[in-house]
Amino acid sequence: MITFSEQQLKVPKLARPVYLVTAGQSKFDRAFPGKRTEELCVDALTQAAELINKTPAELKKYIHTCYYGHFADHFGDQLLGEAVIHDRLGLDPLGTIGVKTGGATGGSTLWEAIKAVASGYSDCTLAMGWERMDEVPTDEGNFLISCAADKDWESPLGHIYTGYYAVMAQKYWKVFGKEEESFRKTLAEIAVKHRGYARFNPYAHGPMKITVEDVLNSPIVAYPLLALDCCLMSVGAACGIVCDEKTAIELTKNTKNKPLRIWVSAGSHTLRPADRRDMDIPLLPNETADQYKDLGERFPGGDRYPGFTGFLAARMAAWYGYRMCGITDPMEDLDVIELHDAFTISDVQTYEDIGLRPYGEGRDFVESGDCYHTNPKTGQPGRLPSNISGGLIGCMHAVGATGIMQVFEIATHLWNRWGEIHGDDKRWKEFDREKPADWTDLQVKDAKRAMAISHAGVGSHVTATILMDPDNLLKEDA
Amino acid sequence: MSMFGQVYTKNNQYKIKGDFHHLTPNQPIRNADDGWKLMGVTNPRDMTYIHSYGGEAIFFESLGQGKLMATRCDNPDCEGHGTVYQPFRIHCMDCLRKCTVFDMTDLAKKSAKIHTFMVCERSGAFNILNTPIKFINVEFEGVDTILMSYLSIGNPEIGMRVVPIFQTLNPTSTILDLSWVPDGTAEKELPEGFSF
Ligand SMILES: [Zn+2]
C-alpha cells in the first residue's frame, strides 16, 4: 500500500511489560564439519543459563513456549528442522512454532516470543535461531538463496541474489553517493570498523586488521560493492529468554543480569523491488515533511520514495517501534545499536531509514565519528556506537541466528558485561581462537537503551528490537 | 537412452513422462586431518518441481510471441484505480480485483529507460545466462512499477533508452525470453533466437 489507514498506523502496545532476562550464542564459523546444528543450539542455551547462574535444566523448567527461527529448510535438507531442535533441547511437549522471514528471521522470532509473554499466554519463552549454510557447495548455496527471490520473475536471472540486491546499491551510490570517491572511502571505513571490532569478539568468524586501502583494493563483486564490503556467510546459533516481570525478577535474583525491558516492532515491503510504488516518506518523530521538500533537487533522482534507495520496511519498523516506547530522537535516546550490515552501503541506507540521519545524509553518521565506540576524530566516546560485535561483516551472518546475536550483543552492554563475556580467556581457548595482544574492552559505558535492526534481503521484512534498563524508560506506560 | 522428463496437463491433472532422476550414490565424508575418520555423508539428488503459472501464463506465453503484456486496475472504486503494473500482477495490489491485461510492447519500445543496473560476474548453480550478467531495472512512462530484466548487448547506464527483445525461436517459457538492447540496435546483432 502507499497510503495508510488510521487503523494501520495504530501504535503497537504490549498488554504487559516484557523483559529479556538472558541470552546466549554459539561460536560462529563458515563451517562446522564436526558439529550438528543441535550441538550449536545446546551451546547457546547453555550460555544463556550460565549468565544467570543456572544449569540448562533449571532454566528449562521456566520455559513455557518456544519460538524457533531458521530460514532455509532446503539448506539443511530437513523440513521441520525446528521440531528436531526442540526435541534435542528436551523441550517436548511444550508448544512450539517455526518462524521464517529471511534475513530478519532472528528479529521476527523475538517478535513472536515477546507477544506470547505480553499477551499473558506464557510467562517465559525461548527464542532460538540458527542457520546451517555449509552443507551444500557454494554455487548451489547461491542457487538456494536466490530461491528467496520471486521464482518466476527474478530467480531465473542468474540464480544469484547479490544481483537482485546490488541494483539497489547501485542506485543509492549514483543518486545519494553521487559516485564520489569520498563516499566510496566512507563505505570502506565501515568495513574496516566492523572487521576491526570483530577482532575483540571471540564468537566472530570474520575478524581482520585491515585499512581503507585494503578494502578499496579488494576484488570487485558488483561495483560499487567490493569483496570486503560484503557480509559473511556463517553457521551458528543464538537464543534469548523473554519473561514477564515476576519471572524476570525471580530468574535474575542474585545474578549480574538486570532484566531489560524489550519491545519488538516490524515492517515489510514488496519481496520484488520491482513492485515498489512511489509514496510520501512516513516521518519519524525527529523529522518534518519540510526537510524533504527539496530532496530531488539536492540529490537528482532521489525524489522517488522509497524507490530503490530506501528500505520502507526498516522505516516502518522504526516508525512503530519508536512511538511504542517513547523514542523521539534515536541519536539522543539510544546508547548502542546493532544494524544489519549485509553490505557497507546497506548499513548507510539503514542510518537514514531509522532516522539517525535524514535521507541523503547517512554517510555523516560515519564521517562524524558518531558510529564508533571511540570517536577517532575527538578521542571521546562515540555518540551512538554501532556494530561493536563486528556485525554481519565481521562477526557473522547465520541467517536465523543473526537478529538474536545482535540482541545478545546489545544486552551485554546494558548488563555491563561486555568485557567479561568477550574477554574471557577460557572462551577464546575453547573456540580455538587467538585473543589479540591488543584486545580492548569495548563496553559502552553507562549504556541504558539499545536497539537492533534485523533485515531481510532486499527489504521484505525488518524488525526493530529495543531494549531499555527499566530504571531509564522514556515513557511510563510503554 | 533417457529423454528429458516432460509434464503436461490433461483432465486437470499433471501427466508425467520420461526420465527425471539421475542417481548418484551417497559418499562418505572423511577427515583428512584425523585418520580419515567418518564425519558425514553426501546426499546428491536431482529434483523436478512442477509449477503452475496460473493467471500469469498469458504473460509468459506472450513473450515467446514477441509481446510484453502488463496489467492495469480498472476498478473505478479503487484508490489505486488506473495503476499500471509491470511486473504483471494478476490482482490489483490495493483492491484485489482482477486487473485488465493489455499489450504494452509499443509503450516499452517507445519509453523504456534503465532505472538502475548491476553487472554481476558471479552466478548460482543452474544458471543459463552468459556471465557477466547485466541486470537492469526498466522504467516506463505511465507504469507505476519498475521491471527487473537483463541487457543482452552493450553496457548499461542509468537513464539509457532500451528496447525489448523476445526469444521467439524455441522460447524457454520463462522470464528469460524477455531481454533488452540499447535503442538503435540492429536486428542482425541480436542474440540467436531473439527478435524485436
Ligand atoms: Zn485496484
Q: How many contacts (CB atoms, under 8 Å) link A and B?
A: 139
Smallest Cβ–Cβ distance between A143 and the set B124, B146, B176 belongs to: B124
Option in A170, A221, A278 nearest B116 (CB): A170
In angstroms, rounded to a whole number, what is the distance separating the alpha carbons of residues A443 and A439?
A: 12
CB atoms within 10 A of CB A5: 8
Residues A207, A197: Cα–Cα separation, whole Å: 7
Maximal C-alpha separation, chain A:
61
Q: What's the DSSP call for residue B15?
A: E
Cell of A355: 532516522
Distance A317 CA to ligand 1 centre (A): 26
pLDDT of residue B2: 53
SS3 B124: coil
Q: What is the ipTM of this complex?
A: 0.85
Residue B1: the pLDDT is 41
Q: What are the distances in angstroms from CA A355 to CA A2, A139, A310, A451, B75?
A: 20, 37, 12, 13, 37
Whether A185 and chain B come into contact, CB under 8 Å, resolves to no
Q: Count other C-beta atoms under 10 Å from residue B101's C-beta.
A: 17
Query: Is A167–B174 a contact, with Cβ atoms under 8 angstroms apart?
Result: no
Tell which CATH classification among 3.30.750.24, 2.60.120.10, 3.30.300.30, 2.40.50.140 matches the domain B54-195. 2.40.50.140
Q: Do B126 and A223 touch (CB under 8 A)?
A: no
Phi-psi region of B126 (alpha: psi -120 to 50; beta: other; left: phi over 0): left
Cβ distance A223 to B150 less than 8 Å, yes or no, reads: no
Of the listed ranges A161-175, A351-365, B27-41, the least confidently predicted one is A161-175
Residue A60 confidence (pLDDT): 97
pLDDT reported for residue B20: 81
Cβ neighbours for A468, distance < 8 A, ≥ 6 positions apart: A260, A261, A325, A414, A448, A449, A450, A474
A152 and B60 within 8 Å at the Cβ level: the answer is yes
Distances (CA, A) of A25 to A256, A257, A329: 18, 16, 31
In chain A, what percentage of residues exceed pLDDT 90? 92
All residues of chain A having their beta carbon less than 8 Å from the beta carbon of residue B146 are 273-274, 276, 308
What pLDDT is stored for residue A476 in this prediction? 87
Determine, for residues A139 and B125 on separate chains, whether the beta-carbon distance falls below 8 Å. Answer: yes
Nearest to A141 by CA among A72, A205, A79, A81: A72
CB contact under 8 A, B39 and A33: yes
Side-chain half-sphere exposure of A288, counting CA atoms within 13 A: 3
Instruction: Check: CB of residue A110 under 8 Å from CB of residue A317.
Output: no
What pLDDT sits at residue A138?
A: 86
Q: Whole-angstrom Cα distance, residue A382 to residue A353?
A: 20
- In the chain, the amino acid numbered B162 is V
Cα-based distances in Å from A198 to A167, A192, A363: 28, 10, 22
A431 touches chain B (CB under 8 A): no
pTM: 0.94
In this prediction, residue B150 carries a pLDDT of 97
All three cell numbers of A208:
581482520
Residue A223, chain B, CB below 8 Å: the answer is yes
Q: Which of A367, A414, A405 is nearest to A387 (CA)?
A: A405
**Contacts of residue A75 in chain B, CB cutoff 8 Å?**
none
* C-alpha cell recorded at residue A11: 501504535
Residue stretches of chain B with pLDDT short of 70: 1-3
Phi/psi of residue A182, each to 5°? -65, -35
Burial class, A339, CB count within 10 angstroms (exposed 0-12 / middle 13-18 / buried 19+): buried
The answer to whether residue A77 neighbours chain B at the CB level (below 8 Å) is: yes
Q: Tell me what the pLDDT averaged over chain A comes to.
A: 96
Sheet harboring A336-338: ordered strands across?
Answer: A95-99, A65-69, A124-131, A236-243, A19-25, A260-268, A461-468, A449-455, A336-338
Centroid of ligand 1 to alpha carbon of A336 (angstroms):
43
Mean pLDDT for A202-208 is 97
Give me the pLDDT at residue A163, please. Answer: 86
Tell me: pLDDT of A35 over 90.
yes
The verdict on whether omega for the bond into residue A224 sits within 30 degrees of 0, i.e. cis, is yes
Tell me the C-alpha distance between B38 and A38, whole Å: 19
pLDDT digits (tens, 9 = 90+) for A264-293: 999 999 999 999 999 999 999 999 999 999
- Backbone torsions φ then ψ of A65, nearest 5 degrees: -140, 160
**Which residues from A are below 8 Å from B85, CB to CB?**
275
| Chain B contact for A8 (CB, 8 A cutoff) | no
* Ligand 1: centre distance to CA A150 (Å): 22
The answer to whether A343 contacts chain B (CB < 8 Å) is no
Q: What is the pLDDT of residue A351?
A: 98
A146 CB neighbours in chain B (<8 A) are 124
Q: Which of A142, A170, A220 sits opposite B124 (nearest CB)?
A: A142
Q: Quick one: what percent of chain A has pLDDT higher than 70?
A: 100
pLDDT in tens, A423-439: 999 999 999 999 999 99
For B94, the closest of A1, A157, A163 (CB atoms) is A1
